[in-house]
Amino acid sequence: MDLKHSSAFPPEILAPAGNKASFLAAIAAGADAVYCGLKFFSARMAAKNFTIEEFTALVDLAHIKGVKVFVALNSLLKPDELIQAGQFLDLLQCQVKPDAIIIQDLGMVPLIKQTGFSGEVHLSTLANASFPAALQIIRQHLHVDRVVLPRELNVDELRILARECPADLDLEVFVHGALCYGVSGRCYWSSYMGGKSGLRGRCVQPCRRRYTQTGQTHRYFSCQDLSVDVLAKVLLSIPKVRTWKIEGRKKGPHYVYYTVRAYRMLRDHHRNSKMKKEALDLLGRALGRTGTHYQFLPQRPQDPVNLRNQTGSGMLVGKVKGAKQNSYFNTREALFPGDVLRIGYEDESGHHTIRIGRAIPKGGRMYLSPSSKITVARGAPVFLTDRREKHLDNKISGLAAQLDSIQSSGRRGSAFILSLPAGTKKKSRLLEVPVFRSLAGTNPPERFGLWLSGGIIKKISGKIASRISWWLSPIIWPENEKAVVEQVKLAIKKGGRHFVLNAPWQIAFFKRRERFKLWAGPFCNLANPLAVDIAGTMGFYGAVVSPELGSEDYLRLPRHSPIPLGIVTKGNWPLCVARTLAEDIRQNKAFSSPMGEQAWATRYGSDYWIYPNWKLDLRAHKNALRKAGYALFIDLIEPLPKGVKMKRRKGLWNWDINLP
């Protein structure tokens, strides 16, 4: 009997680690596995991460302790990064030998083959495998061992996915940690507004900021933390869920130690009320945000945005009182030497961190040292973000001492040589295609696109259906899959042959793919020729590249693309797509950022789309793109809500700055 797939075999607790102390804290707490990033290609580049040398010794120590180590290489790869990524993967294979790597970019699949990486391959939640039919396609074409599922799924949906999951594929589920407002892999907010891509691990968290609508200013998109806590026992009834994942690679060792210990208790002693109570106490003191079950219980979903709760990272321990030269706060918790405090929210002026030098009892007063450079606002919150209790420090120090006895193998250079696909020599006629939500009030050209929906397809006649490129939604939840399949069938029955799929896995809806022109849409986040090549082997006729790239990336990509390429040159591109919207936000009405940028929220199907009031516009560079080899130019057209005014901006996004 294969214990790996036995219901008697408990799921592993997977802990985050963004630095050495957190890595050792995970081991000390009894984690079954640790996931972390290094200095490159991680979707948490803001974490401190590790060098190859220090990481090798930590992995050796973890293996001695029976703990597995996963490396996150889950960043979107640009064309000029493929050689470096291959060399890095080669060094991991030869020197570090992690148990698995976590990937987002399809281009990592051929790199894994080229380097001969022998560990497991896990598909990141950024890849958005959100519906049952996706799992068979993923296993068949990518040959990964595990899929990390979206946080937005409820337990009934997890059961559906588990039931349809191939026998040789495992599932991983988040049980605790920060929630992004946008669905993973479907958020471009940070990139659009600040040139820092969440798909590349550089998110500046614009969703955490204050926004104003109808005179009210709140953190309308700042989510509380996910905390499945005692409900995690329900996951024990789903054997396919092999891993409980704790988010938090930017967190300190205290958070890692407390959350791992808590979920071990909830897994191993879920019938013991005393242990469950102790676990909840540990989670309450882990220094995360206020917790929410989010969508986990479908009959009792919780809004992750609660305007009455603070959503700053850490435990709220007080608020600043007094004048600038004599400011202080009364602490709600006992503070100890070495504790780290953050004064204020991270997006507000005057916020800073301090380390406590002496113990302060609960209710005690702590004065803040005045500084001419920092103005602390009266009423500013004070958060406890990390602490080092003596017992935890002793555990970490003891494990660190064992690292000295581990002999690290000498570093060698990589022998990796990149192999790229040959570019297509087939010349395609250039098409410029506008894409509409509906045909009301439009005069569509000979070729145009429509977002596929039940209401739209039923109204379209067979005479016009063959002229349309049918666009599928970038997110399909288990509850939507059957309806989407029926819509696709009806579009085909009416003569539809052109489809744009906005997740690679949506190709599962087409059995005889040679009959159609299937394009991988821009939400597939394809950004390099290896990723495009994988799309071609899956059955795609062409690919619309990621809209996040810069000019150098765009112009370089077609040289080695084996299939025709398209690009969004104009239109309304969303800041993000989400499954929830705070009840206090009014749809189709503008809201403003602190910098005066405006956006609006609207609902399509079961999801909410957030749009800025300026368009992406690369029309000035059409000639360069045409010469580079692009065969399809796309204009995304959204109905403008009444009262929302579009702003005139260049709309170049990352064209000039070449996404870092």
Mean pLDDT by 10 residues, the chain (660 residues): 49 96 97 89 56 88 98 94 93 93 97 94 98 97 97 98 97 97 96 90 92 95 96 95 96 96 97 97 95 95 89 92 86 94 86 91 90 76 92 95 78 81 79 94 91 93 92 98 97 96 98 94 98 97 96 96 97 98 95 93 97 96 96 97 91 88
- What residue has token string 């068949």? 140
Report the domain count for the chain: 3
Does residue 244 sit within a domain?
Answer: yes
The pTM assigned to this predicted structure is 0.94
pLDDT score at 595 = 87
Which residue, among 574, 555, 573, has the nearest Cα to 565 in the 3D structure? Answer: 555
Does residue 398 sit within a domain?
Answer: yes
Contact 479, 606 (CB under 8 A): yes
CA-only gyration radius of the chain, Å:
25
Based on the fold, state whether residues 26 and 154 are members of the same structural domain: yes
Based on the fold, state whether residues 239 and 337 are members of the same structural domain: no
Owning domain of residue 463? 431-573+615-636
Contact 343, 320 (CB under 8 A): yes
pLDDT score at 412 = 65
Does residue 309 sit within a domain?
Answer: no
Based on the fold, state whether residues 465 and 522 are members of the same structural domain: yes
* Backbone φ, ψ for residue 75 (5° rounding): -105, 155
Does residue 641 sit within a domain?
Answer: no
508: exposed, middle or buried (Cβ count in 10 Å: 0-12, 13-18, 19+): buried
Does residue 581 sit within a domain?
Answer: no
Based on the fold, state whether residues 329 and 367 are members of the same structural domain: yes
The CATH number of whichever domain residue 369 belongs to comes to: 2.40.30.10
C-alpha dist (Å) from residue 529 to 112, 328, 471, 592, 631? 15, 56, 23, 38, 15
Based on the fold, state whether residues 328 and 472 are members of the same structural domain: no
Based on the fold, state whether residues 435 and 357 are members of the same structural domain: no
**How many angstroms separate the CA atoms of 218 and 585, rounded?**
10
C-alpha dist (Å) from residue 50 to 101, 518, 545? 15, 41, 31
Contact 438, 471 (CB under 8 A): no
Q: How many CA atoms lie within 13 A of 632 on its CB side?
A: 27
**How many angstroms separate the CA atoms of 134 and 132, rounded?**
5
Based on the fold, state whether residues 263 and 342 are members of the same structural domain: no
pLDDT score at 7 = 46
Query: Given CA atoms 449, 451, 456, 458 in this order, what sign does their dihedral have?
Result: positive
Based on the fold, state whether residues 26 and 151 are members of the same structural domain: yes
pLDDT score at 556 = 95
225-227/170-177 β-pairing: antiparallel
Contact 20, 402 (CB under 8 A): no
pLDDT score at 134 = 98
Does residue 307 sit within a domain?
Answer: no
Based on the fold, state whether residues 236 and 120 are members of the same structural domain: yes
Based on the fold, state whether residues 153 and 237 are members of the same structural domain: yes
Based on the fold, state whether residues 118 and 168 are members of the same structural domain: yes
The CATH number of whichever domain residue 92 belongs to comes to: 3.20.20.70
DSSP state of 553: H
- What residue has token string 């087939």? 426
The Cα angle at residue 75 between residues 71 and 80, in degrees rounded to 5: 115
Based on the fold, state whether residues 438 and 516 are members of the same structural domain: yes
